[in-house]
Amino acid sequence: MSRTTLTSQENTAIVDKYKNEFCQEVEEILKNVFPKKIIELDKLYKSDQLKLSRAEEVKEAAKASLKDVIAQKEATSIPPAAKRKRNASSSIENGDDTKKEIRFSTKVSCNPVVTELIGFLKPEIRELIEYCNKIKMWIQLLIPKIEDGNNFGVSIQEETISEVSTFCEFAKGSFDDMSRYFVTRGKVSSKIVKYPHLEDYVKYLTELDEKQFLHIRVFTNELKMIYCCMFDIINKNLEKIKQPRSQMSSNLY
């Protein structure tokens, strides 16, 4: 049975075709998508969703998420009715069971305002990371073969890749920040359920939600700035990025 294999020339043609299509895709993103993203994120930053006065709404939502805890606190503050005397071991055992039942039936909801904004922002972050990876690959494919001299354009390409990588890592770090927010809030919520009479934990929870809201607001503006900076850097150095070595210089070697 004969086995069909691709020749080296055919392989090269396939790769070159992919490179050309990929480069056209990235240039289209830079030309049309980035300007739209800058405008969209600027509108979002200035919208009612992220206005500073909404911080009070976030704090009220944080308090509302504790309604079960507040109800539990009020219930436990009522003196229990007189009961007949039981032996010590039985009363201790029943008391522990009652506390466990109350604790496990108490629900602390997520802050709906913060959760909604995080859900809206996550796709934007994923999209930015994807664009950054495409831009890095695009520039990498445009880097010419290594030669002595005339490497100024190549240094511009490498510096641009470094800048885009920094933006990409910043965006990736924001995912960790969001995860840490939920972990921290969960720990504080468990403390509130366990110690409902300690108002410091309640205060900390509302401050945590407000801080996260302000962080989302600032990060939205930073996303806009990242798109602006990447567009500006690439646009200013586009000639050197696409043609790091001039044709005249190449003919001298």
pLDDT band at 220 (very low <50, low <70, confident <90, very high): very high
Neighbours of 121 (CB within 10 A): 17
* Choice between 217 and 66, residue whose per-residue pLDDT is larger: 217
* Segment 182-215, tens digit of pLDDT: 999 999 999 988 888 888 999 999 999 999 999 9
Per-residue pLDDT at 2: 45
Give the pLDDT band (50/70/90) at residue 66: confident
pLDDT tens digit sequence for 23-64:
999 999 999 999 999 999 999 999 999 999 999 999 999 999
Higher pLDDT, 226 or 106: 226
Mean pLDDT of 61-82: 68
Whether residue 253 is predicted with pLDDT greater than 80 in this model: the reply is no
pLDDT band at 91 (very low <50, low <70, confident <90, very high): very low
Identity (one letter) of the amino acid at 216?
Answer: I
What is the pLDDT at residue 164?
Answer: 96
For residues 132 and 93, the answer to whether their CB atoms sit within 8 Å is no
For the segment 111-138, what is each residue's pLDDT rounded down to a tens digit? 999 999 999 999 999 999 999 999 999 9
pLDDT number for residue 71: 67
Q: How confident is the model at residue 108 (pLDDT cuts 50, 70, 90)?
A: confident
Give residues with Cβ within 8 angstroms of 64, minimum separation 6.
109
More confident residue, 198 or 99: 198
Q: Residue 5 pLDDT more than 60? A: no
Mean pLDDT computed over every residue of the chain: 84
Per-residue confidence (pLDDT) for residue 147, from 0 to 100: 73
For every residue of 195-243, DSSP letters joined together read -TT-HHHHHHHHHHHHHHHHHHHHHHHHHHHHHHHHHHHHHHTHHHHH-
pLDDT greater than 50 at residue 252: no
**For residue 90, what pLDDT is reported?**
45
